Amino acid sequence: MTQKARIGKTDLYVNPIGLGTNAVGGHNIYPNLSDETGKAVVRAALDNGINFLDTAYIYGPERSEELIGEVIKERGSRGDVVIATKGAHKFVDGKIVLDNSPAFLRESVENSLRRLQTDYIDLFYIHFPDETTPKDEAVGALARLKEEGKIRAIGVSNFSIEQLRQANADGHVDVLQSEYNLLRRGVEKEILPYCVEQGISFVPYFPLAAGLLAGAYTRETTFADGRSKNPLFQGEEFARNLEKVERVREIAKEKGAEVAHVVLAWYLTVDGIDALIPGAKKPEQVGDTLKTLNVRLSADEIEKISSIFEA
């Protein structure tokens, strides 16, 4: 039986390895996606004991939620599947704008319920902050939806420390999702300590830094996508980052593991992080990611990995 981790102070218990689903129906994010392959990825996750699925309205838009809803329906039972989704984006005159207003968040939850073909959402995030809505009012709207049984837990995503504090003024925030990886550790200064103090679970996205921390690249690797514009992948910084990854590879070899598994295992040792949501484009990638749970890091190894990536 897969060990379950509790998310923050909620009553949600999940496999520490979840599934990020922006490549499941995320046609606006990745080219040439197959909906059937996306559904196969979700099936593979559930069949292998992953019960934490992370999606969002903007993945598609809408299509990721729809595909997950179809898979859940075909299984005939929700079981212990924990579904997280997000809202904040809307189209106005063909352009995407952000809206955290209570009325729009309620509308977003109702629409997500319909697409997911379910009567409750386990974790609903405000995906991005807008510029006008007081964050405690936005979260207050989600608290009312929680009282109504339409959501079970409240999350915010991409919030600054100031926005997070305002959002959590009444103690309603259960989860924060933001970018965090060994090469981007800014949240360690204020955000992670605040989360630990408040019992807020921190869910990192981009944990493998667009593949850089997976150990698959060399100095000769070229990128035709947006990574070529990312400072992490440019010039001497790219070379330095590759050297750091090679030092992790030494630890991984000693354990008979892959670099990615060691990196992901390291995150699970960080206070405040209860679960990870690495993505997958193919069903077989799901089983590979689960090998992370076989990696046990000693206190010395945890410290060594941290020191390799200290600024």
* Tens digits of pLDDT across the chain (311 residues): 467 999 999 999 999 999 999 999 999 999 999 999 999 999 999 999 999 999 999 999 999 999 999 999 999 988 899 999 999 999 999 999 999 999 999 999 999 999 999 999 999 999 999 999 999 999 999 999 999 999 999 999 999 999 999 999 999 999 999 999 999 999 999 999 999 999 999 999 999 999 999 999 999 998 877 788 899 999 999 999 999 999 999 999 999 999 999 999 999 999 999 999 999 999 999 999 999 999 999 999 999 999 999 85
List the catalytic residue out of 13, 30, 59, 217.
59
How many helices and strands, by DSSP H and E, does the chain display? 10, 11
Task: Please give the full DSSP string across 131-197, using - where no structure is assigned.
Answer: SSS-HHHHHHHHHHHHHTTSEEEEEEES--HHHHHHHTTTS---EEEEE-BTTB-GGGTTHHHHHHH
pLDDT at 2: 64
Residue with tokens 């009012």: 137
Domains and CATH numbers, the chain: 5-211+270-297 (3.20.20.100)
pLDDT of residue 175: 98
Is the distance from CB of 45 to CB of 286 less than 8 angstroms?
yes
- Active-site annotation holds for 180: no
Beta strands in the chain (DSSP E): 5-6, 13-14, 19-20, 52-54, 82-87, 89-92, 95-98, 121-126, 151-157, 175-179, 201-205
CA distances from 258 to 129, 155, 268 (A): 36, 31, 16
Determine the Cα–Cα distance for residues 113 and 98; give it in Å rounded to an integer: 20
User: 190 — phi, psi (to 5°)?
Assistant: -125, -40
Report the 3 state secondary structure along 124-135: EEECCCCCCCCH
> Residue 1 has what pLDDT?
47
